[in-house]
A and B are shown apart, each in its own frame.
Chain A
Amino acid sequence: MTHPIVAKALSEGRNKLREDEALELLRHYGIPTPDFALAHSEEEAVAAAEKIGYPVALKVVSPQIVHKTDVGGVVLNVTTPDGVREACRKIKAITKTVPYAEIEGVLVQKMVPKGVELIVGALYDEIFGHVILFGLGGIYTELYKDVSMRLAPLDEQDAWDMVKEVKAYKLLTGFRGTPPRDIPAVVDIIVKFSRLLEENPEITEADLNPVIALEEGKGAYVVDARIYARQI
């Protein structure tokens, strides 16, 4: 039942999926991610951006870099081919400040409009098995621990319950003039993510962060995913 993407990474001795692999894995389970492509050169990046359509974001893909933004490995809102080239050069220059980083490529990703940023995560615990976490994205989640958790596998009702349980739920229903968000799309991501975990028991930790919830009827997208696994 283990997905070939996970199996391949493990067979190559990698415990962390590459960004493009993680996003691809989510897609296979029907979890929406903005269109993306992995590029290995400036020209590949431009071609990808043209195909995906502007604006795009470019992100460094390197097994040694965990916090991409911290090292300047993310360039957002690129709108032209020249912009793509420039972003690629900027990303390549990372190796000057982080000499140990091997750059495997650049992820070109369609920009998602602004929305409410959420986190959906998972963790494997020996006693609990896979536990799924939901919360508001960003630093406040960690500060206030405004999260809900459920054991996997969960059903649709569980997913609704965990979304409604957090205090930040009000941000999704519309708060002080902000529009209501596509809550069913968020619930759908949680349910599909649970199925992904069930079929891939090798996964030890995962962050889908941020998950961006757009306005009602416009969906929700996983913009970044970090997935760790181990051989069992």
Chain B
Amino acid sequence: MYLNLCFLYSVISKLLDPQSAAIVGASPKPGTVGYVLLENLATRFTGRAYPVNPKYDVVELWGRKIKFYKSLLEIEDDIDVAVIATPAPTVPKILEEAGQKGIKAAVVISSGFAEAGNVELENWVKAVAKQYGIRLLGPNCIGVYNAYTNFDTQFLPVERAGRPPPGPIALISQSGAVATAIMDWAARRRLGMGFVVNYGNKADVTEVELLEAFAEDERVKVITMYMEGLKYPGEAKRLLDTVRRIAPKKPIVVYKAGRGSTAAQRAVRSHTAAMAGTYEMYHGLFKQAGAIEASSVREMFDMAKALATQPTPRGPRVLVVTDSGGMGVQAVDALEALGLEVPEVPESIAKELKRELLPFAAVSNPIDVTGSATDEHYKIVLDMLLPTAFFDMALVVTLMQVPGLTKNLAEYIIGAKKYGKPIVAVNFGGSELVQKFEEALEDSGVPTYPTPERAAKALWALYRYSQVRRRL
């Protein structure tokens, strides 16, 4: 059993992290899917790329001669993965050749299968893959983006669809378009995403196996999942068991789109059936499994960013430090609505704080260092309170528009990480200082958000995850 699992992981990892790839349907014609795939894999992929297309022989591209193979069987070297982007009806035969060549993994980009009503063709593809022991991702998918090796089967050109830098977040997406949009967005924000996978029609490889592969990969710290719905009988139980096993070791954040209730479509005889919409079942599954559920794509990454960089808190008590009373109030509202606590500062410490801060500073919690504050004031508060047993995490609001604050404040906030408790920052504005400040914090692992609500939700995710871990 153990050996079998190892074998399974190694084949899935060939799919996600191959050393060599054949591109069936590669093309030298700009503007085609086959061209983008070839460009990705021939110019940026750190492994070996082998274009396959019988129409071409040797073509000069990107200043070098590129040899096209007539078929997979013509390639002499070993191939880890076949990337297939030819018309749907040709796929079974190509897969058969892949099988004969001994290729164990395939990404089928092509569409025109079950999603277009061609269920039989998809079943045929499935059967061929099974016959040759090929693990198949897709069909009808954008496949894999591996930021470490640039194994990239995303067929939209880099100029249009950015690719994120390597980093601790992995994304498993049911939708290809959503995955593309997320990558582009993450690239612009320099959010590190080591892996993005879209499984399309899920003829063979499922989210469960991708979860297992990412659970094993040390480079992945947080797994994010965009889901629209499961499709196979009994699948929910497998997902539950897998997530439940992985979640205590590695956080899984999931966003389920499509929350409309389908209860009305059931033949309802019982109260239970009347109340049990499909979304409610997913919601129950995620809770039971210990996945952290987000209510939008943005929220999913707000949470993932915190989970990837912060330790887990011991409890729900939040220290709020702010230079704006208004932002402090908003933070408290948001934190308390999520079930987190904002306890008062014990009197003895409050007295001491009062001596160190400005006379009109508020020293309960939230601690308002006021608009006249300097960088030092934040440092005093964090050093005096965060290492105490009264607080489990900190939310630091830094409106940099006030005159006394400088970029140095980032150093103080980053320095407070030594206390081993989660810290998130709220920083809002458009000036260059604001942007530089935010970059400094984020680059040193202090997740920064434009509003108190979003920062509060990130802290909630950390707290929720601490509860998931406790169940281990």
Which residues on A are within 8 Å of B, measured CB to CB?
Answer: 66, 119, 121-123, 125-129, 131, 133, 135, 141-142, 145, 147-151, 154, 157-158, 161-162, 165, 205-207, 209, 226, 228
Contact = CB atoms under 8 A, between A and B. Distances in A.
Contacts, number: 89
A205 B287 contact: no
24 contacts: A121-B270, A121-B272, A121-B275, A125-B236, A127-B232, A128-B281, A129-B234, A129-B236, A133-B275, A133-B276, A141-B271, A142-B274, A142-B275, A147-B275, A150-B288, A151-B288, A154-B288, A157-B471, A158-B288, A205-B270, A206-B272, A207-B271, A207-B272, A228-B270
Interface string B327-365: 000000000000000000000000000000000000000
A82 B240 CA distance: 55
B272 A119 contact: yes
B270 A145 contact: no
Interface residues of B, number: 26
A151 B284 contact: yes
A123 B280 CA distance: 12
Given A133-B276, A154-B288, A127 B234 contact: yes
A165 B280 CA distance: 13
A67 to B, nearest CB: 11
A126 B232 CA distance: 8
Contacts of A162: 284
Contacts of A165: 287
Contact of B237 (A129, A135, A161): A129
B270 A206 contact: yes
Interface in B228-263: 230-237, 240
Contacts of A133: 272, 275-276
Given A125-B281, A154-B288, A149 B276 contact: yes
Main secondary structure of the interface of A (DSSP, over half): strand
Contact of A127 (B235, B270, B288): B235
Nearest to B233: A126
Nearest to A145: B275
Contacts of B236: 125, 127-129, 151
Given A122-B272, A157-B471, A206-B272, A149 B284 contact: yes
A161 B287 contact: yes
A141 B471 CA distance: 29
Given A126-B233, A127-B236, A149 B280 contact: yes
Contacts of B275: 121, 133, 135, 141-142, 145, 147
B160 interface: no
